[in-house]
């Protein structure tokens, strides 16, 4: 008898909770998928990964770098931005996208209605290529496993890749042309990805900024569809 009453109570409470979220406009409950790691597990996993990378010498980019640029942002981010490699400022500060291209990226994030702190930002390779040359494919091969693990830890709802190399790496096709694929959805390990131009390209070609803004609409549409909560810029 007592058990039946407590079951009734649980069902009633669940019904109330469902009605509450439906009244707020949710079509499904804003919960992480079952089995998904919590924030504390994610932090521990990310710290362990950073420790494993250590003072990495796995590729020749280690020779000229000042710092490894691991990546930064919210471990529960619904959106990840992935560029190709740290530049001069990033190498000095050990933070991704803090130079002029970073200012442009931050502006894009804010124009999308988000906070930079609410997304996660990383690069395909974690050390600066000398003279800002493109990272070479042997360097990418050596480093990309670290990024894959970061993506697996964060499990964002969407990824926006910045530039040809980031898109080509996640697509497994080093010959992609960014002008041909930008704004077109592809999937990486089950996560929707939208390629766009690298902010450094947009600094040289500001007339193309509107194309990146169009690509951002695709990202926002993907995030809107997934129906979970979103931290907007205050
Ligand atoms: S780019 Fe990646 S693989 Fe190469 S040294 Fe830096 S952290 Fe290691």
User: Which residue CA neighbors atom 3 of ligand 1 most closely?
Assistant: 143
**68, 110, 180 from 147: Cα distances, Å:** 13, 24, 25
Which tokens go with 35?
A: 């089995």
Mean pLDDT of 47-67: 98
User: Which residue CA neighbors atom 4 of ligand 1 most closely?
Assistant: 59
pLDDT in tens, 86-145: 999 999 999 999 999 999 999 999 999 999 999 999 999 999 999 999 999 999 999 999
Give the per-residue pLDDT at 199: 97
Asked whether residue 214 is domain-assigned, the answer is yes
Q: Which residues pair with 213 in a beta bridge?
A: none
Most informative mutation of 52, 53, 60, 61 for ligand 1 (most atoms within 8 A of CB): 61
pLDDT in tens, 14-33: 676 666 556 554 454 545 55
- Atom number, ligand 1, closest to the C-alpha of residue 56: 8
Quote the number of domains for the chain: 2
- Atom number, ligand 1, closest to the C-alpha of residue 53: 7
Q: How far is the CA of 165 from the centre of ligand 1 (A)?
A: 16
pLDDT in tens, 168-183: 999 999 899 999 999 9
Mean pLDDT of 221-229: 70
User: Which residue CA neighbors atom 6 of ligand 1 most closely?
Assistant: 127
Asked whether residue 54 is domain-assigned, the answer is yes
Q: How far is the CA of 74 from the centre of ligand 1 (A)?
A: 23
Give the per-residue pLDDT at 217: 97
Domain containing 180: what range?
33-226
**Average pLDDT of the chain?**
89
Same domain, yes or no: 124 and 10: no
Same domain, yes or no: 10 and 47: no
Same domain, yes or no: 95 and 114: yes
Same domain, yes or no: 156 and 71: yes
Q: How confident is the model at residue 233 (pLDDT cuts 50, 70, 90)?
A: very low
CA distance 154 to 199: 23
User: Is the CB of 128 inside a 6 Å radius of any atom of ligand 1?
Assistant: no
Give the per-residue pLDDT at 12: 76
Asked whether residue 233 is domain-assigned, the answer is no
Same domain, yes or no: 24 and 120: no
Same domain, yes or no: 39 and 24: no
Same domain, yes or no: 5 and 69: no
Continuous H helices in the chain: 2-23, 39-53, 88-93, 100-111, 137-154, 164-171, 178-181, 199-204, 209-226
Give the per-residue pLDDT at 230: 46
Same domain, yes or no: 23 and 106: no
- Atom number, ligand 1, closest to the C-alpha of residue 146: 2
Same domain, yes or no: 46 and 22: no
Handedness of CA 185, 186, 190, 193 (dihedral sign): negative
Q: How confident is the model at residue 220 (pLDDT cuts 50, 70, 90)?
A: very high
Same domain, yes or no: 103 and 4: no
Q: How far is the CA of 108 from the centre of ligand 1 (A)?
A: 28
User: Which residue CA neighbors atom 2 of ligand 1 most closely?
Assistant: 143
Asked whether residue 175 is domain-assigned, the answer is yes
Asked whether residue 231 is domain-assigned, the answer is no
Give the per-residue pLDDT at 39: 83
Same domain, yes or no: 1 and 89: no
User: Is the CB of 127 inside a 6 Å radius of any atom of ligand 1?
Assistant: yes
Q: Domain holding 106: CATH number? A: 3.40.470.10
Same domain, yes or no: 96 and 9: no
User: Is the CB of 124 inside a 6 Å radius of any atom of ligand 1?
Assistant: no
Asked whether residue 26 is domain-assigned, the answer is yes
Q: How far is the CA of 46 from the centre of ligand 1 (A)?
A: 16
Asked whether residue 203 is domain-assigned, the answer is yes
Asked whether residue 234 is domain-assigned, the answer is no
């Amino acid at each position: 008898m007592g058990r039946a009453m407590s079951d009734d109570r649980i069902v009633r409470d669940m019904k109330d909770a469902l009605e509450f979220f439906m009244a707020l406009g949710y079509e499904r409950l804003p919960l992480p998928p079952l089995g998904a790691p919590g924030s504390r597990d994610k932090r521990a996993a990310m710290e362990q990964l950073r420790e494993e990378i250590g003072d990495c010498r796995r590729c020749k980019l280690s020779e000229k770098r000042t710092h490894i640029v691991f990546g930064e942002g919210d471990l529960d981010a619904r959106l990840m931005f992935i560029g190709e490699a740290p530049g001069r400022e990033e190498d000095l500060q050990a933070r991704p996208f803090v130079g002029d291209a970073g200012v442009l990226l931050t502006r894009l994030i804010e124009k999308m209605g988000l906070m930079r702190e609410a997304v996660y930002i990383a690069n395909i390779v974690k050390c600066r290529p000398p003279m800002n040359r493109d990272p070479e494919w042997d360097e990418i091969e050596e480093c990309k496993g670290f990024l894959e693990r970061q993506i697996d830890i964060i499990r964002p709802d969407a990824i926006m890749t910045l530039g040809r190399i980031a898109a080509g790496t996640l697509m497994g096709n080093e010959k992609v042309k960014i002008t041909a694929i930008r704004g077109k959805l592809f999937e990486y390990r089950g996560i929707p990805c939208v390629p766009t131009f690298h902010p450094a390209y947009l600094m040289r070609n500001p007339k193309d900024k509107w194309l990146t803004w169009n690509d951002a609409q695709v990202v926002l549409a993907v995030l809107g569809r997934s129906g979970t909560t979103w931290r907007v810029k205050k």
